[in-house]
Structure 1
Amino acid sequence: MSLKLRSSLLLLAFVCVVANASAQTAYKRIVSLNGAITEVLCALGFEKQIVGVDVTSTYPAAMEKVAKVGHNRNISAEPVLALQPDIIIATNNFLTPAVLDQFKSVGIPHVIIEQEFSVAGTKKLITQVAAAMHVPEKGTALCAQLDKQQQALRVTPQHKKVLFIYARGAGTMMVAGTATPMDKMIGLAGASNAATGFADFKPLTAESLVAANPDVILLFDTGLQSMGGIDGLLKVPGMAQTSAGRNKRVIVMDGQLLAGFGPRIITAIKELSQKISG
Protein backbone atom coordinates (compact mmCIF):
# COMPACT_ATOMS: atom_id res chain seq x y z
CA MET A 1 0.00 0.00 0.00
CA SER A 2 1.44 3.36 -0.99
CA LEU A 3 2.08 6.03 1.62
CA LYS A 4 -0.35 8.36 -0.18
CA LEU A 5 -3.16 5.77 -0.19
CA ARG A 6 -2.53 4.91 3.45
CA SER A 7 -2.69 8.58 4.41
CA SER A 8 -5.93 8.99 2.49
CA LEU A 9 -7.49 6.01 4.26
CA LEU A 10 -6.39 7.26 7.66
CA LEU A 11 -7.83 10.69 6.88
CA LEU A 12 -11.13 9.12 5.81
CA ALA A 13 -11.29 7.04 8.99
CA PHE A 14 -10.60 10.12 11.09
CA VAL A 15 -13.33 12.10 9.33
CA CYS A 16 -15.81 9.24 9.96
CA VAL A 17 -14.91 9.08 13.64
CA VAL A 18 -15.25 12.84 14.06
CA ALA A 19 -18.54 12.87 12.18
CA ASN A 20 -19.90 10.05 14.30
CA ALA A 21 -18.75 11.70 17.52
CA SER A 22 -20.28 14.98 16.40
CA ALA A 23 -23.59 13.27 15.65
CA GLN A 24 -23.65 11.55 19.04
CA THR A 25 -23.11 14.82 20.89
CA ALA A 26 -25.33 16.98 18.69
CA TYR A 27 -28.31 16.75 21.05
CA LYS A 28 -27.58 18.21 24.47
CA ARG A 29 -31.15 18.66 25.70
CA ILE A 30 -33.52 15.78 24.99
CA VAL A 31 -37.17 15.57 26.01
CA SER A 32 -38.74 12.10 25.88
CA LEU A 33 -42.52 11.75 25.98
CA ASN A 34 -42.74 7.98 26.34
CA GLY A 35 -41.40 5.62 29.01
CA ALA A 36 -40.14 3.05 26.51
CA ILE A 37 -38.33 5.71 24.50
CA THR A 38 -36.72 7.00 27.69
CA GLU A 39 -35.48 3.50 28.52
CA VAL A 40 -34.07 3.12 25.02
CA LEU A 41 -32.33 6.50 25.16
CA CYS A 42 -30.70 5.57 28.47
CA ALA A 43 -29.66 2.16 27.15
CA LEU A 44 -28.06 3.91 24.17
CA GLY A 45 -26.01 6.16 26.47
CA PHE A 46 -28.03 9.40 26.43
CA GLU A 47 -29.21 9.40 30.05
CA LYS A 48 -27.35 12.58 31.00
CA GLN A 49 -28.71 14.54 28.04
CA ILE A 50 -32.36 13.93 29.00
CA VAL A 51 -33.77 17.12 30.53
CA GLY A 52 -37.48 16.29 30.56
CA VAL A 53 -39.74 13.22 30.50
CA ASP A 54 -43.39 12.27 30.80
CA VAL A 55 -44.59 10.63 34.03
CA THR A 56 -44.46 7.10 32.54
CA SER A 57 -40.67 7.45 32.35
CA THR A 58 -39.93 5.79 35.67
CA TYR A 59 -36.94 3.67 34.65
CA PRO A 60 -34.03 3.85 35.23
CA ALA A 61 -34.24 5.34 38.72
CA ALA A 62 -32.19 8.38 37.65
CA MET A 63 -35.26 9.60 35.74
CA GLU A 64 -36.96 10.39 39.06
CA LYS A 65 -34.77 13.49 39.27
CA VAL A 66 -35.56 14.67 35.73
CA ALA A 67 -38.22 17.34 35.13
CA LYS A 68 -41.70 15.92 34.44
CA VAL A 69 -43.79 17.51 31.70
CA GLY A 70 -47.06 15.65 32.34
CA HIS A 71 -48.67 12.36 31.39
CA ASN A 72 -48.18 11.28 27.80
CA ARG A 73 -51.97 11.12 27.39
CA ASN A 74 -52.38 14.85 27.93
CA ILE A 75 -49.10 16.54 27.05
CA SER A 76 -49.23 20.27 26.33
CA ALA A 77 -46.48 22.07 24.47
CA GLU A 78 -45.65 24.77 27.03
CA PRO A 79 -43.87 22.70 29.73
CA VAL A 80 -41.95 20.85 27.03
CA LEU A 81 -40.78 24.00 25.26
CA ALA A 82 -39.91 25.64 28.59
CA LEU A 83 -37.07 23.13 28.94
CA GLN A 84 -35.51 24.46 25.71
CA PRO A 85 -34.97 21.02 24.16
CA ASP A 86 -32.99 20.60 20.97
CA ILE A 87 -34.92 17.41 20.17
CA ILE A 88 -38.25 15.93 21.28
CA ILE A 89 -38.95 12.21 20.86
CA ALA A 90 -42.41 10.69 21.34
CA THR A 91 -44.75 7.99 20.12
CA ASN A 92 -47.77 8.71 17.97
CA ASN A 93 -50.28 7.32 20.50
CA PHE A 94 -51.35 10.47 22.28
CA LEU A 95 -49.88 13.76 21.05
CA THR A 96 -52.56 15.98 19.56
CA PRO A 97 -52.14 17.71 16.19
CA ALA A 98 -52.23 21.07 17.99
CA VAL A 99 -49.24 20.16 20.16
CA LEU A 100 -47.33 18.85 17.14
CA ASP A 101 -48.07 22.10 15.30
CA GLN A 102 -46.60 24.07 18.20
CA PHE A 103 -43.43 21.98 18.09
CA LYS A 104 -43.20 22.61 14.35
CA SER A 105 -43.82 26.34 14.69
CA VAL A 106 -40.79 26.87 16.92
CA GLY A 107 -38.56 24.77 14.69
CA ILE A 108 -37.46 22.22 17.29
CA PRO A 109 -36.59 18.84 15.77
CA HIS A 110 -39.08 16.21 16.87
CA VAL A 111 -39.29 12.53 16.09
CA ILE A 112 -42.66 10.77 16.31
CA ILE A 113 -42.47 6.98 16.32
CA GLU A 114 -45.30 4.51 15.88
CA GLN A 115 -45.17 2.04 18.76
CA GLU A 116 -46.11 -1.58 18.15
CA PHE A 117 -46.80 -3.77 21.18
CA SER A 118 -44.72 -6.83 20.39
CA VAL A 119 -41.12 -8.00 20.70
CA ALA A 120 -40.57 -7.12 17.06
CA GLY A 121 -42.15 -3.75 17.70
CA THR A 122 -39.74 -3.09 20.54
CA LYS A 123 -36.78 -3.88 18.29
CA LYS A 124 -38.20 -1.53 15.67
CA LEU A 125 -38.57 1.20 18.29
CA ILE A 126 -34.95 0.73 19.37
CA THR A 127 -33.77 0.89 15.77
CA GLN A 128 -35.71 4.09 15.07
CA VAL A 129 -34.58 5.87 18.24
CA ALA A 130 -30.97 4.88 17.56
CA ALA A 131 -31.27 6.23 14.01
CA ALA A 132 -32.74 9.51 15.27
CA MET A 133 -29.82 9.88 17.68
CA HIS A 134 -27.29 8.95 14.95
CA VAL A 135 -26.04 5.83 16.73
CA PRO A 136 -27.47 3.00 14.58
CA GLU A 137 -24.70 0.62 15.60
CA LYS A 138 -25.73 0.92 19.27
CA GLY A 139 -29.31 0.15 18.29
CA THR A 140 -28.14 -2.97 16.46
CA ALA A 141 -26.19 -4.10 19.53
CA LEU A 142 -29.18 -3.55 21.83
CA CYS A 143 -31.45 -5.52 19.49
CA ALA A 144 -28.88 -8.32 19.47
CA GLN A 145 -29.11 -8.48 23.27
CA LEU A 146 -32.88 -8.80 23.00
CA ASP A 147 -32.48 -11.59 20.44
CA LYS A 148 -30.34 -13.59 22.87
CA GLN A 149 -32.82 -13.05 25.71
CA GLN A 150 -35.71 -14.05 23.47
CA GLN A 151 -33.94 -17.23 22.35
CA ALA A 152 -33.44 -18.22 26.00
CA LEU A 153 -37.05 -17.45 26.96
CA ARG A 154 -39.30 -20.43 27.64
CA VAL A 155 -43.02 -19.71 27.98
CA THR A 156 -45.43 -22.57 28.62
CA PRO A 157 -49.02 -22.06 27.42
CA GLN A 158 -51.28 -21.58 30.42
CA HIS A 159 -55.02 -22.20 30.24
CA LYS A 160 -55.81 -19.29 32.48
CA LYS A 161 -57.87 -16.17 31.91
CA VAL A 162 -56.24 -13.00 33.18
CA LEU A 163 -58.10 -9.72 33.70
CA PHE A 164 -56.07 -6.53 33.87
CA ILE A 165 -57.70 -3.78 35.92
CA TYR A 166 -56.40 -0.21 35.79
CA ALA A 167 -57.25 1.18 39.21
CA ARG A 168 -56.93 4.57 40.82
CA GLY A 169 -59.03 3.82 43.85
CA ALA A 170 -62.44 2.15 43.86
CA GLY A 171 -63.93 5.11 41.98
CA THR A 172 -61.71 4.66 38.92
CA MET A 173 -61.46 1.11 37.65
CA MET A 174 -60.99 0.25 33.98
CA VAL A 175 -60.62 -3.11 32.26
CA ALA A 176 -58.11 -3.68 29.45
CA GLY A 177 -59.64 -5.18 26.31
CA THR A 178 -57.98 -6.20 23.07
CA ALA A 179 -55.45 -3.99 21.27
CA THR A 180 -53.98 -2.81 24.58
CA PRO A 181 -50.40 -3.35 25.78
CA MET A 182 -51.72 -5.46 28.66
CA ASP A 183 -53.67 -7.71 26.29
CA LYS A 184 -50.56 -8.28 24.20
CA MET A 185 -48.39 -8.94 27.24
CA ILE A 186 -50.87 -11.47 28.70
CA GLY A 187 -50.75 -13.35 25.40
CA LEU A 188 -46.95 -13.27 25.28
CA ALA A 189 -46.90 -14.73 28.80
CA GLY A 190 -48.89 -17.73 27.58
CA ALA A 191 -52.31 -16.87 29.04
CA SER A 192 -55.48 -15.31 27.60
CA ASN A 193 -57.23 -12.03 28.25
CA ALA A 194 -60.48 -12.53 30.17
CA ALA A 195 -61.87 -9.34 28.62
CA THR A 196 -62.96 -9.91 25.05
CA GLY A 197 -65.35 -8.30 22.59
CA PHE A 198 -64.00 -4.76 22.87
CA ALA A 199 -60.81 -2.85 22.23
CA ASP A 200 -59.04 -0.35 24.47
CA PHE A 201 -60.46 0.18 27.99
CA LYS A 202 -63.95 0.01 29.47
CA PRO A 203 -65.23 0.85 32.97
CA LEU A 204 -65.37 -2.18 35.23
CA THR A 205 -68.88 -3.29 36.24
CA ALA A 206 -69.96 -6.10 38.55
CA GLU A 207 -71.85 -7.73 35.69
CA SER A 208 -68.90 -7.72 33.28
CA LEU A 209 -66.57 -8.93 36.02
CA VAL A 210 -68.75 -11.94 36.82
CA ALA A 211 -69.24 -12.69 33.11
CA ALA A 212 -65.48 -12.59 32.44
CA ASN A 213 -64.84 -14.86 35.46
CA PRO A 214 -61.04 -14.45 35.40
CA ASP A 215 -58.70 -16.96 37.00
CA VAL A 216 -56.22 -14.20 37.81
CA ILE A 217 -56.53 -10.45 38.41
CA LEU A 218 -53.57 -8.37 37.21
CA LEU A 219 -52.86 -4.81 38.32
CA PHE A 220 -50.05 -2.30 38.44
CA ASP A 221 -48.49 -2.28 41.90
CA THR A 222 -49.63 1.33 42.34
CA GLY A 223 -53.15 0.31 41.34
CA LEU A 224 -53.44 -2.30 44.07
CA GLN A 225 -52.06 0.18 46.58
CA SER A 226 -54.80 2.64 45.60
CA MET A 227 -57.38 -0.05 46.41
CA GLY A 228 -56.03 -0.57 49.90
CA GLY A 229 -54.36 -3.86 49.02
CA ILE A 230 -55.90 -7.24 48.22
CA ASP A 231 -58.54 -6.92 50.93
CA GLY A 232 -59.81 -3.71 49.36
CA LEU A 233 -59.82 -5.24 45.88
CA LEU A 234 -61.80 -8.28 47.03
CA LYS A 235 -64.57 -5.95 48.23
CA VAL A 236 -65.25 -4.77 44.66
CA PRO A 237 -68.80 -5.82 43.65
CA GLY A 238 -68.71 -9.06 41.70
CA MET A 239 -65.13 -9.96 42.65
CA ALA A 240 -66.17 -12.65 45.14
CA GLN A 241 -68.15 -14.41 42.39
CA THR A 242 -65.06 -14.93 40.20
CA SER A 243 -62.50 -17.72 40.34
CA ALA A 244 -59.79 -15.12 40.99
CA GLY A 245 -61.75 -13.62 43.88
CA ARG A 246 -62.56 -16.95 45.50
CA ASN A 247 -58.93 -18.06 45.26
CA LYS A 248 -57.46 -14.63 45.99
CA ARG A 249 -55.38 -14.91 42.83
CA VAL A 250 -54.14 -11.33 42.46
CA ILE A 251 -50.77 -10.42 40.97
CA VAL A 252 -49.09 -7.07 40.50
CA MET A 253 -46.23 -5.72 38.45
CA ASP A 254 -44.46 -2.43 37.95
CA GLY A 255 -46.50 -0.45 35.46
CA GLN A 256 -43.73 0.58 33.10
CA LEU A 257 -42.20 -2.89 33.10
CA LEU A 258 -45.53 -4.56 32.31
CA ALA A 259 -46.95 -2.15 29.76
CA GLY A 260 -43.95 -0.21 28.45
CA PHE A 261 -42.69 -2.62 25.77
CA GLY A 262 -39.21 -1.16 26.14
CA PRO A 263 -35.79 -2.88 26.29
CA ARG A 264 -36.90 -4.93 29.34
CA ILE A 265 -39.73 -6.64 27.45
CA ILE A 266 -38.29 -10.16 27.75
CA THR A 267 -37.84 -9.67 31.49
CA ALA A 268 -41.47 -8.54 31.70
CA ILE A 269 -42.77 -11.57 29.77
CA LYS A 270 -40.79 -13.97 31.96
CA GLU A 271 -41.92 -12.32 35.21
CA LEU A 272 -45.58 -12.23 34.20
CA SER A 273 -45.56 -15.84 33.02
CA GLN A 274 -44.04 -17.00 36.28
CA LYS A 275 -46.52 -15.02 38.38
CA ILE A 276 -49.52 -16.33 36.44
CA SER A 277 -48.38 -19.93 36.90
CA GLY A 278 -47.33 -19.44 40.51
Structure 2
Amino acid sequence: MNKNTFLGGIILLLISAVSACNVDTQSEATFVDSTKIVSINGTVSEILVDLGFEDNIVGVDVASTYPASLNSKPKVGHSQQMAAEGIIALGPDVVIGTSKDVKPELADQIRNAGVKLLLFDQEYSPEGTKKLIKSIADSLNRTAKGDSIISIVEADLAKANAAEKTDPKPKVLFIYARGTGTMMVAGNGTQVEKIIELAGGQNAVSGFTDYKPLTAEALVAANPDVILLFDSGLSSLGDIDGLLEVQGVKETNAGKNRKIVEMDGQFLTGFSQRLGKAVLELAEKIH
Protein backbone atom coordinates (compact mmCIF):
# COMPACT_ATOMS: atom_id res chain seq x y z
CA MET A 1 0.00 0.00 0.00
CA ASN A 2 1.46 3.37 -0.98
CA LYS A 3 1.47 6.43 1.27
CA ASN A 4 -1.33 8.25 -0.59
CA THR A 5 -3.64 5.24 -0.43
CA PHE A 6 -2.99 4.89 3.32
CA LEU A 7 -3.70 8.58 3.99
CA GLY A 8 -6.84 8.43 1.86
CA GLY A 9 -8.14 5.52 3.94
CA ILE A 10 -7.50 7.38 7.19
CA ILE A 11 -9.36 10.46 5.90
CA LEU A 12 -12.36 8.33 4.87
CA LEU A 13 -12.50 6.74 8.32
CA LEU A 14 -12.46 10.15 10.00
CA ILE A 15 -15.21 11.47 7.73
CA SER A 16 -17.38 8.43 8.49
CA ALA A 17 -16.92 8.84 12.24
CA VAL A 18 -17.80 12.53 12.25
CA SER A 19 -20.79 12.26 9.88
CA ALA A 20 -22.54 9.74 12.12
CA CYS A 21 -23.64 12.54 14.44
CA ASN A 22 -23.71 16.29 14.50
CA VAL A 23 -20.68 16.85 16.70
CA ASP A 24 -17.10 17.96 16.25
CA THR A 25 -14.23 15.50 16.61
CA GLN A 26 -13.38 16.62 20.16
CA SER A 27 -16.81 15.45 21.31
CA GLU A 28 -16.43 11.80 20.34
CA ALA A 29 -16.54 9.42 23.28
CA THR A 30 -15.27 5.93 24.08
CA PHE A 31 -17.92 3.86 25.86
CA VAL A 32 -17.21 1.34 28.59
CA ASP A 33 -19.49 -0.33 31.14
CA SER A 34 -18.89 2.47 33.65
CA THR A 35 -19.65 5.35 31.26
CA LYS A 36 -22.20 7.72 32.82
CA ILE A 37 -24.73 9.27 30.45
CA VAL A 38 -27.12 12.20 30.73
CA SER A 39 -29.79 12.03 28.01
CA ILE A 40 -31.48 15.32 27.21
CA ASN A 41 -34.08 14.08 24.73
CA GLY A 42 -36.97 11.69 25.29
CA THR A 43 -36.54 9.88 21.99
CA VAL A 44 -32.80 9.52 22.51
CA SER A 45 -33.50 8.07 25.96
CA GLU A 46 -35.83 5.46 24.48
CA ILE A 47 -33.19 4.44 21.96
CA LEU A 48 -30.44 4.30 24.57
CA VAL A 49 -32.54 1.99 26.74
CA ASP A 50 -33.24 -0.37 23.82
CA LEU A 51 -29.54 -0.38 23.00
CA GLY A 52 -28.79 -1.60 26.52
CA PHE A 53 -27.56 1.60 28.17
CA GLU A 54 -30.29 2.15 30.78
CA ASP A 55 -27.96 1.40 33.69
CA ASN A 56 -25.50 3.95 32.33
CA ILE A 57 -28.06 6.77 32.35
CA VAL A 58 -27.61 9.00 35.41
CA GLY A 59 -30.00 11.80 34.38
CA VAL A 60 -32.65 12.66 31.80
CA ASP A 61 -34.76 15.56 30.58
CA VAL A 62 -38.41 15.82 31.62
CA ALA A 63 -39.61 14.38 28.28
CA SER A 64 -37.84 11.08 29.00
CA THR A 65 -40.90 9.27 30.33
CA TYR A 66 -40.61 5.93 28.51
CA PRO A 67 -39.92 3.32 29.63
CA ALA A 68 -41.48 4.11 33.02
CA SER A 69 -38.26 3.10 34.78
CA LEU A 70 -36.73 6.38 33.55
CA ASN A 71 -39.05 8.28 35.87
CA SER A 72 -36.77 7.34 38.76
CA LYS A 73 -33.78 9.04 37.11
CA PRO A 74 -32.80 12.59 38.19
CA LYS A 75 -34.33 15.25 35.93
CA VAL A 76 -32.25 18.03 34.34
CA GLY A 77 -35.12 20.15 33.02
CA HIS A 78 -36.97 20.75 29.78
CA SER A 79 -35.45 21.07 26.32
CA GLN A 80 -34.12 24.60 25.69
CA GLN A 81 -34.47 25.40 29.41
CA MET A 82 -31.72 23.27 30.89
CA ALA A 83 -28.89 24.66 33.00
CA ALA A 84 -25.36 23.36 32.66
CA GLU A 85 -24.92 23.25 36.43
CA GLY A 86 -27.70 20.70 36.89
CA ILE A 87 -26.31 18.48 34.15
CA ILE A 88 -22.68 18.68 35.28
CA ALA A 89 -23.61 18.04 38.92
CA LEU A 90 -24.63 14.49 37.95
CA GLY A 91 -21.03 13.78 36.93
CA PRO A 92 -21.68 12.45 33.42
CA ASP A 93 -18.95 11.33 31.07
CA VAL A 94 -21.13 12.20 28.09
CA VAL A 95 -24.32 14.15 27.37
CA ILE A 96 -26.43 12.88 24.48
CA GLY A 97 -29.31 14.62 22.71
CA THR A 98 -30.42 16.08 19.40
CA SER A 99 -29.10 19.23 17.77
CA LYS A 100 -32.31 21.13 18.57
CA ASP A 101 -31.99 20.47 22.31
CA VAL A 102 -28.88 22.47 23.13
CA LYS A 103 -28.23 26.17 22.72
CA PRO A 104 -24.65 27.09 21.74
CA GLU A 105 -23.83 28.60 25.13
CA LEU A 106 -25.02 25.44 26.93
CA ALA A 107 -22.95 23.28 24.61
CA ASP A 108 -19.87 25.39 25.37
CA GLN A 109 -20.46 25.13 29.13
CA ILE A 110 -20.77 21.35 28.95
CA ARG A 111 -17.62 20.97 26.88
CA ASN A 112 -15.67 23.43 29.03
CA ALA A 113 -16.49 21.26 32.03
CA GLY A 114 -14.70 18.39 30.33
CA VAL A 115 -17.87 16.49 29.48
CA LYS A 116 -18.30 14.94 26.05
CA LEU A 117 -21.31 16.05 24.00
CA LEU A 118 -22.99 13.99 21.28
CA LEU A 119 -25.78 15.72 19.37
CA PHE A 120 -27.68 14.02 16.57
CA ASP A 121 -29.91 15.50 13.86
CA GLN A 122 -33.53 14.32 14.03
CA GLU A 123 -35.91 14.38 11.09
CA TYR A 124 -39.58 13.72 11.84
CA SER A 125 -40.32 10.97 9.33
CA PRO A 126 -40.02 7.16 9.18
CA GLU A 127 -36.68 7.47 7.42
CA GLY A 128 -35.55 10.07 9.94
CA THR A 129 -36.43 7.73 12.81
CA LYS A 130 -34.43 4.89 11.30
CA LYS A 131 -31.50 7.18 10.58
CA LEU A 132 -31.46 8.47 14.17
CA ILE A 133 -31.47 4.94 15.58
CA LYS A 134 -28.64 3.91 13.26
CA SER A 135 -26.56 7.01 14.00
CA ILE A 136 -26.80 6.53 17.76
CA ALA A 137 -26.20 2.78 17.57
CA ASP A 138 -23.19 3.14 15.29
CA SER A 139 -21.68 5.87 17.47
CA LEU A 140 -22.00 3.69 20.58
CA ASN A 141 -20.71 0.52 18.92
CA ARG A 142 -24.12 -1.15 18.98
CA THR A 143 -24.61 -1.47 15.21
CA ALA A 144 -26.08 -4.97 15.25
CA LYS A 145 -28.55 -4.08 17.99
CA GLY A 146 -29.48 -0.90 16.13
CA ASP A 147 -30.19 -2.87 12.96
CA SER A 148 -32.43 -5.20 14.97
CA ILE A 149 -34.41 -2.25 16.36
CA ILE A 150 -34.79 -0.79 12.86
CA SER A 151 -36.18 -4.11 11.59
CA ILE A 152 -38.89 -3.95 14.26
CA VAL A 153 -39.68 -0.34 13.32
CA GLU A 154 -40.08 -1.33 9.68
CA ALA A 155 -42.40 -4.20 10.60
CA ASP A 156 -44.53 -1.91 12.78
CA LEU A 157 -44.75 0.71 10.02
CA ALA A 158 -45.81 -1.96 7.52
CA LYS A 159 -48.70 -2.91 9.84
CA ALA A 160 -49.66 0.76 10.17
CA ASN A 161 -49.59 1.24 6.40
CA ALA A 162 -51.83 -1.80 5.95
CA ALA A 163 -54.43 -0.49 8.40
CA GLU A 164 -57.78 0.46 6.90
CA LYS A 165 -58.14 4.19 6.32
CA THR A 166 -61.16 6.20 5.22
CA ASP A 167 -61.54 8.51 2.24
CA PRO A 168 -61.88 11.46 2.36
CA LYS A 169 -59.25 11.88 5.00
CA PRO A 170 -60.63 13.06 8.34
CA LYS A 171 -59.69 16.60 9.32
CA VAL A 172 -57.76 16.46 12.57
CA LEU A 173 -57.08 19.48 14.77
CA PHE A 174 -54.35 19.12 17.36
CA ILE A 175 -54.70 21.34 20.42
CA TYR A 176 -51.80 21.79 22.80
CA ALA A 177 -53.40 22.63 26.15
CA ARG A 178 -52.21 23.45 29.64
CA GLY A 179 -55.55 24.50 31.04
CA THR A 180 -57.88 26.92 29.28
CA GLY A 181 -55.33 29.70 29.67
CA THR A 182 -52.84 28.01 27.33
CA MET A 183 -54.35 26.53 24.19
CA MET A 184 -52.44 26.38 20.91
CA VAL A 185 -53.14 24.67 17.59
CA ALA A 186 -50.52 22.90 15.46
CA GLY A 187 -49.82 24.28 12.01
CA ASN A 188 -47.84 23.16 8.99
CA GLY A 189 -44.54 21.35 9.41
CA THR A 190 -45.09 20.35 13.03
CA GLN A 191 -44.31 16.88 14.33
CA VAL A 192 -47.97 16.27 15.08
CA GLU A 193 -49.06 17.25 11.56
CA LYS A 194 -46.63 14.74 10.14
CA ILE A 195 -47.91 11.88 12.27
CA ILE A 196 -51.51 12.82 11.47
CA GLU A 197 -50.64 12.48 7.79
CA LEU A 198 -48.88 9.14 8.38
CA ALA A 199 -52.06 7.92 10.07
CA GLY A 200 -54.16 8.83 7.02
CA GLY A 201 -55.59 12.11 8.27
CA GLN A 202 -55.11 15.74 7.31
CA ASN A 203 -54.39 18.78 9.41
CA ALA A 204 -57.61 20.75 9.87
CA VAL A 205 -55.72 24.06 9.76
CA SER A 206 -53.13 25.48 7.38
CA GLY A 207 -51.52 28.72 6.33
CA PHE A 208 -49.09 29.00 9.24
CA THR A 209 -46.18 27.07 10.68
CA ASP A 210 -45.44 25.96 14.22
CA TYR A 211 -48.20 26.79 16.74
CA LYS A 212 -50.57 29.69 17.26
CA PRO A 213 -53.22 30.52 19.87
CA LEU A 214 -56.60 28.84 19.50
CA THR A 215 -59.55 31.14 18.80
CA ALA A 216 -63.23 30.23 18.67
CA GLU A 217 -63.57 31.76 15.20
CA ALA A 218 -60.69 29.75 13.75
CA LEU A 219 -61.94 26.60 15.46
CA VAL A 220 -65.40 26.88 13.91
CA ALA A 221 -63.92 27.75 10.51
CA ALA A 222 -61.62 24.71 10.59
CA ASN A 223 -64.54 22.48 11.62
CA PRO A 224 -62.40 19.42 12.42
CA ASP A 225 -63.79 15.90 12.31
CA VAL A 226 -61.44 14.93 15.14
CA ILE A 227 -59.80 16.93 17.92
CA LEU A 228 -56.50 15.45 19.10
CA LEU A 229 -54.73 16.30 22.36
CA PHE A 230 -52.01 14.94 24.60
CA ASP A 231 -53.61 13.01 27.46
CA SER A 232 -52.07 15.46 29.93
CA GLY A 233 -53.55 18.36 27.96
CA LEU A 234 -57.06 16.93 27.93
CA SER A 235 -56.81 16.23 31.64
CA SER A 236 -55.84 19.88 32.28
CA LEU A 237 -59.12 20.95 30.67
CA GLY A 238 -61.30 18.65 32.75
CA ASP A 239 -61.38 15.80 30.21
CA ILE A 240 -63.87 15.65 27.32
CA ASP A 241 -66.68 17.47 29.12
CA GLY A 242 -64.31 20.29 29.99
CA LEU A 243 -63.07 20.55 26.40
CA LEU A 244 -66.64 20.75 25.12
CA GLU A 245 -67.13 23.85 27.26
CA VAL A 246 -64.33 25.66 25.37
CA GLN A 247 -65.94 28.25 23.11
CA GLY A 248 -66.47 26.95 19.59
CA VAL A 249 -65.80 23.26 20.25
CA LYS A 250 -69.48 22.23 20.36
CA GLU A 251 -70.03 23.84 16.96
CA THR A 252 -67.51 21.59 15.21
CA ASN A 253 -68.16 18.12 13.81
CA ALA A 254 -65.71 16.76 16.37
CA GLY A 255 -67.60 18.43 19.21
CA LYS A 256 -71.02 17.36 17.98
CA ASN A 257 -69.85 13.75 17.69
CA ARG A 258 -67.61 13.84 20.78
CA LYS A 259 -64.79 12.67 18.52
CA ILE A 260 -61.95 13.55 20.89
CA VAL A 261 -58.71 11.56 20.79
CA GLU A 262 -56.04 11.65 23.48
CA MET A 263 -52.57 10.08 23.38
CA ASP A 264 -49.37 10.24 25.40
CA GLY A 265 -47.25 13.14 24.16
CA GLN A 266 -43.91 11.38 23.84
CA PHE A 267 -45.55 8.36 22.20
CA LEU A 268 -47.44 10.52 19.69
CA THR A 269 -44.73 12.98 18.66
CA GLY A 270 -41.42 11.43 19.71
CA PHE A 271 -40.76 9.67 16.37
CA SER A 272 -38.87 7.04 18.34
CA GLN A 273 -38.66 3.32 17.65
CA ARG A 274 -42.35 3.21 18.71
CA LEU A 275 -43.33 5.30 15.67
CA GLY A 276 -45.11 2.48 13.84
CA LYS A 277 -47.15 1.62 16.93
CA ALA A 278 -48.07 5.29 17.40
CA VAL A 279 -49.18 5.66 13.77
CA LEU A 280 -51.30 2.51 13.98
CA GLU A 281 -52.98 3.58 17.23
CA LEU A 282 -53.73 7.06 15.88
CA ALA A 283 -55.06 5.63 12.60
CA GLU A 284 -57.44 3.34 14.49
CA LYS A 285 -58.68 6.24 16.62
CA ILE A 286 -59.29 8.82 13.89
CA HIS A 287 -60.86 6.59 11.22
TM-score of the aligned structures, taking structure 2 as reference length: 0.86
Is 1:25 the counterpart of 2:32? The answer is yes
Structure 1 window deviating more from structure 2 (67-76 vs 261-270): it is 67-76
Is 1:196 the counterpart of 2:227? The answer is no
> Structure 2 regions of 5+ residues with no counterpart?
1-29
Q: Determine helix, strand or coil for the equivalent of 1:107.
A: coil
Is 1:90 the counterpart of 2:100? The answer is no
1:37 is aligned with what amino acid? V
CA distance in 1, matches of 2:165, 2:283: 9
How far residue 94 of structure 1 moved from its aligned partner, in angstroms, is 3.4
Matches within 5 A, 1:229-268: 229-268=239-278
Q: Determine helix, strand or coil for the equivalent of 2:147.
A: helix
1:155 is aligned with what amino acid? A
Offset from partner CA, 1:24-61 (integer Å, 9 cap, x none): 52562111111110000000011111111111100001
TM-score of the aligned structures, taking structure 1 as reference length: 0.88
State whether residues 32 and 53 of structure 1, in contact with CA within 8 Å, keep that contact through their aligned partners in structure 2: yes
Aligned to 2:123: 116
Is 1:146 the counterpart of 2:168? The answer is no
**1:41 aligned to which of 9, 34, 48:** 48
How far residue 222 of structure 1 moved from its aligned partner, in angstroms, is 0.6
State whether residues 111 and 132 of structure 1, in contact with CA within 8 Å, keep that contact through their aligned partners in structure 2: no
How far residue 113 of structure 1 moved from its aligned partner, in angstroms, is 1.0
State whether residues 162 and 217 of structure 1, in contact with CA within 8 Å, keep that contact through their aligned partners in structure 2: yes
State whether residues 194 and 213 of structure 1, in contact with CA within 8 Å, keep that contact through their aligned partners in structure 2: yes
Q: Determine helix, strand or coil for the equivalent of 1:31.
A: strand
1:59 is aligned with what amino acid? Y
How far residue 131 of structure 1 moved from its aligned partner, in angstroms, is 1.9
Aligned to 1:131: 138
Alignment CA distance shift 1:27-1:97 (3 Å): farther
Is 1:173 the counterpart of 2:180? The answer is no
1:205 is aligned with what amino acid? T
How far residue 136 of structure 1 moved from its aligned partner, in angstroms, is 1.6
1:123 is aligned with what amino acid? K
| RMSD, matched Cα | 1.5
